[in-house]
């Protein structure tokens, strides 16, 4: 059993984000690049999506956080992510790795494993199957979706955190945030989030934005996951006709949360974090 989780400090984190306006350099996939840029902006960050190997080190030098989303696997993309990650490590810029689809093919697994092995990572974010695959545990990933049962996901997330020396987020029906020693369940979100392509990618850059503004890696990660889940819930309370309009409501909910950090009651959020 993990220790009692840290007290949520979401209002403070959102206030810091609003003041810091972190520049987040994202190397992401073509499917969700616009969503990733928009959600960065809506949280209060500044998005930049440089993906030319000649430029990424220069852009990282000016950035506060780096997202590496391995959703598009190419030799050029792999080189670019490694170049960006090494530049971030040299400058102390936090790196968030989203190993999209790791475990689905040997190529994706090789790329994700190389990134995790060769770079110093602040946060690793994946669904249950992706985190399990990266940790070398049994997993089932079809395309980029996690399938199967993961009764030991807390232990697997802790193992992945120990291997990567990063805070690990295993996203699913219940999100799990883990370090090498502790793991916490985060209660938040809504089933509609699973019906929109790109919510996983947007969570990845949310983690990068918070990591670029909030100094404590675990606190930044817990607050980011909480904020993301709250936005999903608020979007579900709005009027929407289906997945497309829900996505718009979700982006609006992110912007509204970021605009009212003082309206967050941190004490009411304590029950949303449970030690595992």
Residue 150 placed within a domain: yes
Do you know the residue count of the chain?
A: 276
> Is the Cβ–Cβ distance between 60 and 91 less than 8 Å?
yes
Spans of the chain below 50 pLDDT? 142-147
pLDDT of residue 148: 58
Residue 184 placed within a domain: yes
Residue 3 placed within a domain: no
Q: What long-range pairs does 155-160 form, CB within 8 A, spacing at least 24? A: 155/183, 156/131, 156/132, 157/131, 157/183, 158/182, 158/183, 159/135, 160/124, 160/131, 160/134, 160/135
Domain encompassing residue 139 = 10-275
Residue 185 placed within a domain: yes
Write phi, then psi, for 265 (nearest 5 degrees). -95, 100
Give me the half-sphere count of Cα atoms (radius 13 Å) on the Cβ side of residue 172: 22
pLDDT of residue 88: 98
Question: DSSP code of 71?
Answer: T
pLDDT of residue 209: 98
pLDDT of residue 222: 96
Angle 32-33-34 from CA coordinates, rounded to 5°: 95
Residues at the binding site for ATP are: 125, 171
Residue 170 placed within a domain: yes
Spatial CA neighbour of 217 closest among 174, 262, 182: 182
Residue 77 placed within a domain: yes
Q: What total of structural domains would you count in the chain?
A: 1
User: Mean pLDDT for the chain?
Assistant: 92
Cα–chain center distance at 258? 17
Residues at the binding site for substrate are: 49, 198
- For residue 182, give the CATH number of its domain: 3.40.1190.20
Residues at the binding site are: 49, 125, 171, 198
Residue 54 placed within a domain: yes
Residue 5 placed within a domain: no
């Amino acid at each position: 059993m993990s220790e009692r989780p840290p007290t949520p400090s979401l209002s403070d984190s959102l206030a810091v984000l609003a003041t810091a306006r972190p520049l987040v350099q994202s190397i992401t996939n073509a499917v969700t690049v616009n969503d990733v840029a928009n959600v960065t902006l809506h949280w209060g960050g500044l998005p930049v999506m440089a993906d030319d190997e000649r430029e990424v080190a220069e852009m990282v030098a000016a950035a506060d956080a780096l997202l590496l989303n391995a959703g598009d696997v190419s030799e050029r993309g792999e080189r670019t992510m490694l170049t960006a990650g090494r530049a971030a490590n040299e400058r102390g810029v936090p790196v968030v790795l989203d190993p999209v689809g790791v475990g689905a093919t040997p190529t994706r697994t090789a790329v994700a494993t190389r990134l995790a092995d060769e770079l110093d990572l602040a946060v690793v974010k994946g669904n249950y199957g992706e985190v399990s695959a990266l940790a070398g545990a049994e997993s089932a990933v079809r395309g980029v979706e996690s399938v199967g049962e993961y009764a030991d996901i807390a232990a697997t997330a802790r193992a992945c955190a120990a291997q990567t020396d990063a805070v690990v987020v295993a996203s699913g029906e219940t999100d799990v945030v883990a370090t090498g020693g502790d793991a916490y369940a985060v209660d938040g979100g809504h089933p509609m989030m699973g019906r929109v392509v790109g919510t996983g990618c947007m969570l990845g850059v949310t983690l990068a934005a918070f990591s670029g503004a909030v100094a404590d890696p675990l606190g930044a990660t817990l607050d980011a996951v909480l904020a993301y889940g709250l936005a999903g819930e608020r979007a579900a309370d709005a009027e929407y006709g289906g997945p497309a309009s829900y996505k718009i409501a979700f982006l609006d909910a992110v912007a509204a949360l970021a605009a009212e950090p003082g309206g967050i009651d941190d004490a009411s959020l304590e029950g949303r974090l449970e030690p595992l």
